[in-house]
């Protein structure tokens, strides 16, 4: 005996409302049918943890569903079907291993994070002197100009009593079709009071050679600790200082 599932109009409309862009009622019906068929064939999908994180990287960096395929096209990844843009498991199945690593590199996070062997996206190194940062300029030079990157050195300092050190990132703003701007963050490293002078040396080099400015943000000791451990960047901070 075969059971058929007929979605109600309200359910289809809810799915339609959740889709990016101007998806039609029929688009929503197609996605529901495809999803039911998929899970009928694979009732217990076993998508690796790291791969299930891929779709969330876009939301984490402020990229809505309507722009996901545009970004993927720019970095050489095949476009995904509408259903995959709202399902981490389906999106993971869409991406090959090479695609996963392209996304990791594009978002400036570690590849082990999308492999599931690391629980935090960034590797934040302790910096002792300027020689530890020799790869920064090479990384800037390797960035594609297609999305018109604009770089800023972002310096996070503790706004509470005591010293929690300083965490620094290189923020890369990119423009998609001249209308939509989003940012990714390259981890530069963690600096103690004794090594904070290296930040000024780095910025002086970047300012003179590439006209890169800097911003200082203050945040709580808890937030600084979280970023030092490699968790996602707190993009708001509490105050800007130029």
Q: Which of 84, 97, 76 is nearest to 35 (CA)?
A: 84
Whole-angstrom CA distances from 155 to 40, 95, 103, 178, 235 are 50, 34, 25, 27, 11
Model pLDDT for residues 183-241, shown as the tens digit of each residue: 999 999 999 988 889 999 999 999 988 899 999 999 988 999 999 999 998 776 554 44
Q: Among candidates 99, 97, 94, 96, which has minimal Cα distance to 82? A: 94
Taking alpha carbons only, the member of 31, 35, 49, 58 closest to residue 184 is 58
Report the pLDDT value the prediction gives residue 56, as an integer from 0 to 100.
95
Quick one: pLDDT band at residue 1, thresholds 50, 70, 90? very low
Mean pLDDT for the chain overall? 84
Beta bridge partners of 217: 156, 240
Q: String of b and e for 91-127 (b: at least 16 CB within 10 Å)?
A: bbbbbeeebbebbbebbbbbeebbbeebebbbebeeb
pLDDT in tens, 123-172: 999 998 888 888 898 899 888 888 889 999 999 998 877 667 899 999 99
Do residues 69 and 188 lie in contact, with contact meaning Cβ atoms separated by under 8 Å? no
Q: How far apart are CA 24 and CA 214, in angstroms?
A: 45
Q: Would the pLDDT of 39 be above 90?
A: no
Q: Structure pTM? A: 0.76
The pLDDT, as a whole number, for residue 160 is 79
Write the CB contacts of 91 (distance below 8 Å, at least 6 apart in sequence): 54, 55, 80, 84, 85
Q: Find residue 171's DSSP bridge partners.
A: 152, 185
Distance between CA 152 and CA 158 in Å, rounded? Answer: 19
């Amino acid at each position: 005996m075969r059971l058929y599932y007929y979605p109600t109009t309200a359910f289809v409309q809810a799915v339609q409302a959740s889709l990016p862009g101007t998806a039609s009622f029929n688009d929503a019906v197609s996605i529901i049918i495809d999803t039911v068929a998929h899970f009928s064939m694979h009732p217990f999908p076993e998508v690796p943890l790291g791969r299930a994180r891929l779709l969330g990287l876009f939301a984490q960096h402020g990229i809505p569903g309507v722009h996901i395929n545009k970004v993927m096209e720019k970095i050489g990844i095949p476009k995904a079907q509408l259903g995959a843009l709202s399902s981490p498991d389906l999106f993971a199945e869409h991406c090959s291993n090479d695609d996963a690593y392209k996304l990791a590199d594009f978002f400036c996070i570690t590849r082990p994070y999308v492999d599931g062997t690391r629980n935090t996206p960034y590797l934040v190194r302790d910096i002792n002197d300027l020689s530890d940062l020799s790869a920064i300029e090479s990384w800037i030079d390797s960035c594609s100009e297609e999305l018109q990157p604009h770089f800023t050195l972002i310096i996070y300092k503790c706004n509470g009593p005591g010293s929690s050190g300083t965490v620094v990132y290189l923020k890369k703003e990119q423009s998609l079709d001249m209308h939509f701007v989003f940012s990714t963050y390259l981890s530069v490293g963690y600096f103690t009071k004794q090594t904070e002078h290296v930040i000024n040396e780095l910025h002086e080099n970047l300012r003179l050679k590439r006209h890169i400015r800097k911003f200082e943000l203050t945040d709580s000791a808890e937030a600084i600790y979280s970023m030092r451990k490699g968790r996602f960047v707190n993009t708001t901070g509490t105050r800007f200082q130029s």
